[in-house]
Amino acid sequence: MKNAKLKIGLIAVTSLGMMWGSASSFAAPEKRCTAGGQKVVCPTVTEEEAKKASAAFLKEGDDMEQGKGGSTYGIAPFDYLTGVGKRSNSDTKTFKTDSGYGGETKGGLKTELWDRVKAPSSDGVTDKSVYDQWTNNWSPKFGATLVAGADPNHGKTYYYSYCIACHGWLMHGDGPSASELNPRPRTLTRGDYMNKKTNLELFAVIKGGGEQVSLSSSMPNWGNVLQDQDIWNVIAFIRAMQDVPPPTSVEAYLNPKSTFKPIKGDVDALNASKSAEFKDIQETIESEMTGRAPGTELVGGGYVSGGNRLDASAVPLKVKN
């Protein structure tokens, strides 16, 4: 039962409980997806792989609760649930808390998270810095971007919060819930497919959801959760991960090498607001969003301050060629 609890907990966190009631059940026709204008078979993992990933996820959760080693991707120490390095020593057999975090660490088992934040509550450490550690310590850091005005380092944090339940920790389409979805979530690292998709197309499906681009509503719309700059940042993260294989070492995990090359004439975070096509798509998506009062101005395309985001023009990263 512990497993079931864990899984539900993660799903609530990662997808805000959105769309769970409406997971679509229609069968996927052969060539439903388009890449570069061609109809192609949608890139997903097989049903078997999705089931295996689900089982691995449950085992990982169980192992984590019991303080055992072992990891989904064969990297030890690595924690599938948090991406945080997991350290153990064999003096103590079990954690003292349900979650596995914040348990007794005296000679016992602990995670990297709590290794790095010493005594979080007594140390005046804020939730935000814990969150930053959570998402930044044991994950790739990018010194350049493949989308002008968009920061993959910020996109990564949103991806980890909202997308992994379905698309998987490493974007391979094998999140813990992938096996329960039909059609299955996209493998987002298949360069033969994704590198032909324009930023405009990715922006539309992420902001407006699957239905916006004639795909399944199992892909939720994120326009009411993520602001435009967040979406751009997530796109930059996706672009930075093309054809990145399951890592065989922590080093490989931290330094993904992408095959994506910016597409000539495509919109990016810096120039999108000047594109008529982008404006059109924004208008369509936003007219269907719950947050927009009838008759009000189009708010998309612009920058709204607050949260973990930078104005596109202030993103410090250079575009990699």
Which parts of this chain interact with ligand HEC (CB under 6 A)? 15, 19, 33, 42, 162-163, 165-167, 181, 183, 185-186, 188, 197, 202, 205-206, 210, 213, 215-216, 218-220, 222, 234
Least distance CB 181 / ligand HEC (angstroms):
5
- Gap between the Cα atoms of 142 and 154, Å rounded: 10
Q: Please, what is the minimum distance in Å from the beta carbon of residue 21 to ligand HEC? A: 11
Structure tokens at 131: 């969150």
Smallest distance from ligand HEC to CB 167, Å: 5
Is 86 or 156 the residue whose CB approaches ligand HEC more closely? 156
Q: CB-wise, 150 or 202, nearer to ligand HEC?
A: 202
Structure token digits, residue 51: 């089931």
Q: Which residue has the tokens 């993660």?
A: 10
CA 196 → CA 38, 214, 289, distances in Å? 10, 17, 28
Identify which of residues 11 and 84 has a Cβ nearer to ligand HEC in the complex.
11
What amino acid is encoded at 33 in this protein? C
State which residue, 114 or 237, has the beta carbon closest to ligand HEC: 237
* Encoded amino acid at 190, one letter: R
In contact, 83 and 169? CB cutoff 8 Å: yes
Nearer to ligand HEC, 84 or 202 (CB): 202
The residues near 133 (Cβ < 8 Å, ≥ 6 apart) are 84, 113, 116, 117
Q: Please, what sign has the CA dihedral across residues 238, 243, 247, 253? A: negative
At closest approach, how far in Å is the CB of 151 from ligand HEC?
15
Q: Which has the closest alpha carbon to 246: 142, 172, 176, 161?
A: 172
CA distance linking residue 71 with residue 156, whole number of Å: 21
Shortest Å, Cβ 321 to ligand HEC: 23
For the CB of residue 184, give the shortest distance to ligand HEC in the complex, in Å.
6
Please identify, using beta-carbon distances, which residue of 64 and 188 lies nearer to ligand HEC: 188
Instruction: Name, in order, each residue with C-beta under 8 angstroms of 231's C-beta and a sequence gap of 6 or more.
Output: 203, 206, 207, 222
Least CB distance to ligand HEC at residue 163 (A): 3
